[in-house]
Amino acid sequence: IEFTANFLADGSYRINVVQCRPFQAKGGGHIVAPPGPVAAEDIVLRTQGAVIGPSMAAPVGRLICVMPSAYGQLPLAERYSVARLIGRLTCLEPRPEGALLLAGPGRWGTAEPALGVPVCFAEISRVTALCEIIEMREGLVPDVSLGTHFFNDLVETQVLYLALVPGREGNFLNVDLIEGAPNRLPELLPNDACWARVVRVIDPAFLPGGQSLRLYADALRQSALCYFVR
């Protein structure tokens, strides 16, 4: 519920509802906990709170991550180029088996590139899970959108939505792990290799040592965890 409150001179007030939308939490069957404790160096991301959509326990075939610090330094005009690049990445064929996890700073679908990545829903409609990282750069922390820019589309396509707030208890983004993993962007889209510092594409099938990537999300318990299994 979004509302305004106007306080009048006589001490009374008036509340006006601006918008009201239902947030569904549909069960996806029994979600088992990850087997035993997960080492911190194997965790890609973890969030506690703002888990909206279908619960799931699934292997991740591809992780696309827009790095908050690098994206936050881009001129606003170049951020539209990143949004178009995301659309090309999510539509690539053949796509790896498993979930497609997309993570990035600020509000996905915002009309203001200063607040997030200005994609349209068609450019991200094929993702399995969408994560908003509530961080842009030092001194700028955009508000979480909770998927409201295309809420009905998220519900209809059963896209899992996550919000991750670095620094908040129960939330963690392993930047070193993501930046240290091989980035397949130059191989998949050679003409877009210049964006490799900003957009990282990790395919577990191409990692050394037979690693796999798993995503566990429980909408009822409001918790999610993505981590490597070595």
CA 75 to chain centroid, in Å, comes to 22
Confidence at 158, pLDDT banded by 50, 70, 90: confident
Identify residue 29 by its one-letter amino acid code.
G
Work out the pLDDT band at 40, boundaries 50, 70, 90: confident
pLDDT in tens, 172-201: 999 999 999 999 999 999 999 999 999 999
Q: Compute the mean pLDDT over every residue in the chain, rounded to the nearest whole number.
A: 87
Query: Which residues on adjacent β-strands are paired with residue 65?
Result: 103, 200
Determine the 3-state secondary structure of 192 from DSSP.
helix
Side chain identity, residue 106: G
pLDDT at 146: 61
CA 54 to mean position of chain CA atoms: 15
Model confidence, pTM: 0.83
Distances (CA, A) of 84 to 68, 90, 174, 188: 17, 10, 25, 15
Cβ-contact 140, 100 below 8 angstroms:
no
27 has a pLDDT exceeding 60: no
Confidence of residue 214 (pLDDT cuts 50, 70, 90): very high
Is the distance from CB of 149 to CB of 113 less than 8 angstroms? no
| Distance (Å) of CA 139 to CA 50, 69, 73, 114 | 23, 11, 12, 13
Q: Which residue would you say has higher pLDDT here, 107 or 150? A: 107
179 φ/ψ angles, rounded to the nearest 5 degrees: -70, -25
